[in-house]
Amino acid sequence: MPTAVSTPVFTTAWTASPQRPSEGFTPNWSQEGFWRQSLRQVVRLTAGGGRARIRLSNAYGTSPLRIAGASVARSGPGAAVEPGSLRRLTFAGAASVEIPAYGQAVSDAAELALESGESATVTLHLDAVTGPATFHAQAFATSYRGSGDRLEDTGAAGFDASTESWYFLSAVEVDAGRGDGIALLGDSITDGFGSTPGDNRRWSDALAARTGRPVLNAGIGGNLLLNDSAWYGEKGLHRLARDVLDHEGVSTLVVLQGLNDLGFSETDEQPTYRPAPVVDAEELIAGHRELIRRARARGVRVIGATLLPFGGSDHWGEHAAKASHELNEWIRSSGEYDAVVDLNRAMAAPADPDRLHPAYDFGDHLHPNDAGYAVMAEVLAELLEKQR
């Protein structure tokens, strides 16, 4: 009898949630796009394996996107890669691929041994005009651009421009064959705002190191649960399937959303989201219930995270205070989530539970710093260990 050939089971080891082209954050290349250039992007993996493949997104492209070629390698310093590790990628056996408007493409797997916690470098050659680029605005990591075809460059010299965003790349998958991935759905706190750029100190990074499990970061800065935004992405309810449930190997979803739904109506300093509707706790609870229903329908366990304290920030006000307390109490006591991680209490200042602990405050009374993100990861890791 012929020997059966097993099909590798892939696990998502890194993700970035796609966004519409915009210039609402730090300067980026999303609106101008690319032409006759190579784009090199460095990502930190949370699972390892012997083969790797990538997912590319043209979710917000209005015309086909041509990828003239792609490669993957183990990362070196800056834009350099480790000599001998560079692998050309193919798409259904072809060196290039055309991704339709609003579509995506998955590469074939390349033989490349990668470890959890290691960084991989993906290079794309874009020889035709891309138009505005689907991207992820706040990478807190450096991406590089150079002229011409630099797919096989191992050095950094040809990459003479840099940015802190990711473009087209939405996932890296490895043949780990694991089904215990944890996805974090959230806003700028999940995205990693306030962490040290380039150091991989988001709470998703800390959680992966602490648990040894794949962790998918599905955060978008400014994201809302109930409403779409041109700058801050599609609402959490819309993007749940694409950014979490459709990825390989996800077994647990952690939801940390609702703060911007409440806070944007309190501040006059956010012209990027106007009009900002006044949202009450009952509306947010209904949104959380819908997330729970959809995730469970896909066999995913759902953990609710209470909103962090944000007193003293530009998102704080009488209505936001009241509604956030009501939402947090529902998350804690309703029993509707499979489990609850009480980040609100873990991160609160001893003298004022409505404010972030000073040791964990990035400085805006809204976002944690590196130490705060480490505490968030530790609290969640302890919960996961208790429930094994």
| Element holding 49 (H helix, E strand) | strand 49-57
Handedness of CA 127, 233, 317, 193 (dihedral sign): negative
3-state secondary structure 124-159: EEECCCCCCCCEECCCCCCEEEEECCCCCCCCCCCC
Query: Residues 6 or more apart from 319 whose CB is under 8 A from it?
Result: 262, 265, 266, 278
Residue 4 confidence (pLDDT): 47
Reduce the DSSP state of residue 325 to 3 states and report it: helix
Residue 198 confidence (pLDDT): 95
In this prediction, residues 293-306 reach a mean pLDDT of 98
Span 120-153, pLDDT tens digits: 999 999 999 999 999 999 999 999 999 999 999 9
**Nearest alpha-carbon partner for 98 in 53, 65, 123, 63:** 65
CB 121 within 8 A of CB 41: yes
The per-residue DSSP string of 210-235 comes to HH-S-EEEEE-TT--SS--BTTTBS-
The answer to pTM > 0.85 is yes
Q: What is the DSSP letter of 289?
A: H
**Nearest alpha-carbon partner for 33 in 109, 133, 100:** 133
For 256, list phi and psi in degrees, rounded to 5.
Answer: -130, 80
**Nearest alpha-carbon partner for 299 in 242, 357, 360, 252:** 252
Dist CA 333 CA 150 (whole Å): 55
138: which 2 tokens?
A: 């706040």
| Residues shown for the chain | 388
For 253, list phi and psi in degrees, rounded to 5.
Answer: -115, 135
Can you list the domains of the chain with their CATH numbers? 11-173 (2.60.120), 179-386 (3.40.50.1110)
Span 172-205, pLDDT tens digits: 999 999 999 999 999 999 999 999 999 999 999 9
User: What type of residue is 297?
Assistant: A
Span 348-367, pLDDT tens digits: 999 999 999 999 999 999 99
Dist CA 114 CA 249 (whole Å): 17
Task: Catalogue the E-assigned strands of 58-131.
Answer: 65-67, 69-74, 87-89, 97-99, 104-106, 110-114, 119-126
Span 57-101, pLDDT tens digits: 999 999 999 999 999 999 999 999 999 999 999 999 999 999 999
Span 311-361, pLDDT tens digits: 999 999 999 999 999 999 999 999 999 999 999 999 999 999 999 999 999
